[in-house]
Amino acid sequence: MQKKPLLETMHPFVYLLSAFCLIMSAAGADKPALDISGWNRDTRPQDDFFEFANGGWLKNTEIPSDKTRWGSFVILAEESRDAVQTIIDELSAKDGLKNGSNPQKIRDLYRSFMNEERVNELGVAPIKAYLQVIEGISSKNEFGKIWAEAGRLGISNPIGAYINQDGKDSTRYALYFTQSGLGLPDRDYYFQDDERSTGLKEAYRTMLARMFDLAGLSDGLKKSETIFELEKRIAGAHWTRVENRDRIKTYNKKTREEIKGMLTSFDLKTFLEVSGVANESSFIVRQPSFLEGLNATIKEASLSDWKDYFKARVLIDFAPYLSESFAQAHFEFYNKTLGGQEEPEPRARRAVNLVNGSLGELIGKEYVQRNFPPEAKARMLDLVGNLKVAMKQSIENLEWMTTPTKVAALEKLKKFNTKIGYPDKWKDYSGLTIAPDDLVGNIIRSAGFEHEREISKLSKPVDQTEWFMTPQTVNAYYNPSMNEIVFPAAILQPPFFNMKADDAVNYGAIGMVIGHEIGHGFDDQGRKSDGDGNLRDWWTEEDAKAYEARTSKLVAQYEKFEPESGFFVNGQLTLGENIGDLGGITLAYRAYLESMKGKWPPMVDGLTGEQRFFLSLAQIWRIKQRTETTIRRLKTDTHSPPKFRVNGPVRNFDDFYKAFNVKAKDSMWLAPEERVQIW
């Protein structure tokens, strides 16, 4: 299309300053399409675009004392929880609900958590029997049974087992083994010896000792040291988070005999029998060397040490559902020390979280009926369709990709499936029993119910209708095994999706989210699967090298970002998400211009359509988080911090430079040869 040159006689920044009122577009009085009250007019967009778009809001916003971060995603998630709370409150007021009905289950799960008086009265009693079972272990030969039972109860242990589609045969389900079993967020926490890390490790041991004391178990302080050292040995065999991102290296199909050879000190036969998967003959092991390292630790650590470790797992996992003293000890470390959260969320909010986590699709069905109009789904389908067209054009026009790889990429794109709003088929919870006065029992039964649901998949065809997020979740995802992009109902609201806003705003916000998820199908890991969801190398050697040359430049760029003094973004850990962000902007912008159908995007309140697109994009990452949370997420999260999800990709996007007249002297400037263009 023919584009009219941007005016250069008036600097774009002047256009921005000219708009002093909220830009409402057609959005009405509910929410502004663009909230310029949060801008920082002391910062030029050419020097720090994120700060310009969000700095005023960041300066004037206090993170609520019961939160570790606050902003677009969290605020919308709170609104979603408000809606769920309304549904639950209505049910909680009813006494005549049929026993076993879905409304009864929602109501009574909520009531069981809210009955704080009974929870405090019971203390450690709900889990005492499990602690006694552990104390009664007489031989390591019993570990297979104990670990399997723990899995059914929802208790973590060193071997994580789960069901997923076979990475190389997406038509069938397979049983996966993965590393697990740590009380700290990541293996590296056990080995870093700087002052901050040393303090965190001491706080963790203090929490463990406190848990043992509260449970009436002797020598809590001594045992906390023992447990920490045992976990450190387990952590030593863990793969790093960067290694765990590699879809090829983490696909290792093994026979039962091969796994027995790795776990000679572990009763694999009993573990599989008690887990309900005795007939499985092959497994996919994500980290084979971890199983070998764990085997050595099983053999070398004393039975007494292992028993203390098992007790700690039970105490930590159930502490939030026990008496106030347990819940507070858990909060003090996991929320306050690690995340900076000043106080716990209100009990009612935590109860909603429990209902969402255990009965998510039950509550989701009612949520959708009340909060998700059909026209929103129709509008989203149009947007997704336009983004797919943009991706198709991008692939066809790539200069660095050869024809054979383009053909395979287009074939994969053609097979993309899209799910919007809510499932076509809802989960059946009829086999789950929920009681109003048995909180821990409800949690255990819920875990067992989900366990049985999962292992039943092994005897069934793959269910392509299954969702892995509930409709009330503010998020989206790409599932490589199903080659699908999924957008729950709750994210399809302002500031992400506004039915009354103009296209520039919607393409900059939800369009970027859509493009991001499409991009995951072609990021450094997504590109390893084909259109049927199978791990397969469909790239020519030449194209793979050209792709990796571009992504390595992106890694180097992000590793220069320093969100907190002395703490940098891990470019390898965040690579997939950074590729998704760059691709998301590229595809959304191209789709926006195509939606204009050859017309010049309109000027609104002194802002060009292009400027509104980028400002809308920046607005969805308007998030403020505590220092402790930022540092923890830098070590464990595959996403870059919010500021760099804006500044990182736009610096690589030529049209951003045009929209805001960015010059070589400006801080946002990257020389053209340094900019990374993938899609």
Residues of the chain by 3-state class (helix, strand, coil), percent to 5: 55, 10, 35
**Predicted pLDDT of residue 5:** 29
In this predicted model, what pLDDT tens digit does every residue of 529-541 receive, in sequence order? 999 999 999 999 9
Domains and CATH numbers, the chain: 12-61+372-422+471-674 (3.40.390.10), 128-211+220-302 (1.10.1380.10)
pLDDT at 12 over 70: no
**Predicted pLDDT of residue 30:** 56
**Predicted pLDDT of residue 8:** 28
pLDDT at 511 over 60: yes
**Predicted pLDDT of residue 32:** 64
Question: Predicted confidence band at 17 (pLDDT cuts at 50, 70, 90)?
Answer: very low
In this predicted model, what pLDDT tens digit does every residue of 398-424 receive, in sequence order? 999 999 999 999 999 999 999 999 999
**Predicted pLDDT of residue 500:** 86
Alpha-carbon dihedral sign for residues 283, 289, 294, 300: positive
In this predicted model, what pLDDT tens digit does every residue of 213-260 receive, in sequence order? 999 999 999 999 999 999 999 999 999 999 999 999 999 999 999 999
- Lowest mean pLDDT: which of 15-19, 106-110, 391-395, 407-411? 15-19
**Predicted pLDDT of residue 528:** 97
Q: Which helix (H) or strand (E) holds 176?
A: strand 169-179
**Predicted pLDDT of residue 229:** 98
**Predicted pLDDT of residue 95:** 87
Question: Predicted confidence band at 604 (pLDDT cuts at 50, 70, 90)?
Answer: confident
Whole-number Å distance between alpha carbons of 226 and 306: 9
The C-alpha angle 397, 402, 407, rounded to 5 degrees, equals 75
pLDDT at 327 over 50: yes
pLDDT at 13 over 50: no
H helix runs in 510-608, sequence order: 510-520, 541-558, 575-595
pTM over 0.95, yes/no: no
CA 618 to chain centre: 20
Buried b (16+ CB within 10 A) or exposed e, 399-438: eebeeebeebbeebbeebebbbbbbeebbebeebebebeb
Region 67-82: mean pLDDT is: 97
**Mean pLDDT, rounded, of the chain:** 94
Long-range contact pairs involving 270-274 (C-beta distance under 8 Å, separation at least 24): 270/144, 270/145, 270/148, 271/143, 271/144, 271/145, 271/147, 271/148, 271/159, 272/148, 273/148, 274/144, 274/145, 274/148, 274/149, 274/152
**Predicted pLDDT of residue 534:** 98
**Predicted pLDDT of residue 596:** 87
**Predicted pLDDT of residue 20:** 29
Hey, how many other C-beta atoms are within 10 angstroms of the C-beta on 29?
Answer: 7
The C-alpha angle 151, 200, 314, rounded to 5 degrees, equals 20
The amino acid at residue 322 is L
Pairing type for strands 282-285 and 159-166 reads unpaired
In this predicted model, what pLDDT tens digit does every residue of 378-390 receive, in sequence order? 999 999 999 999 9
In this predicted model, what pLDDT tens digit does every residue of 354-374 receive, in sequence order? 999 999 999 999 999 999 988
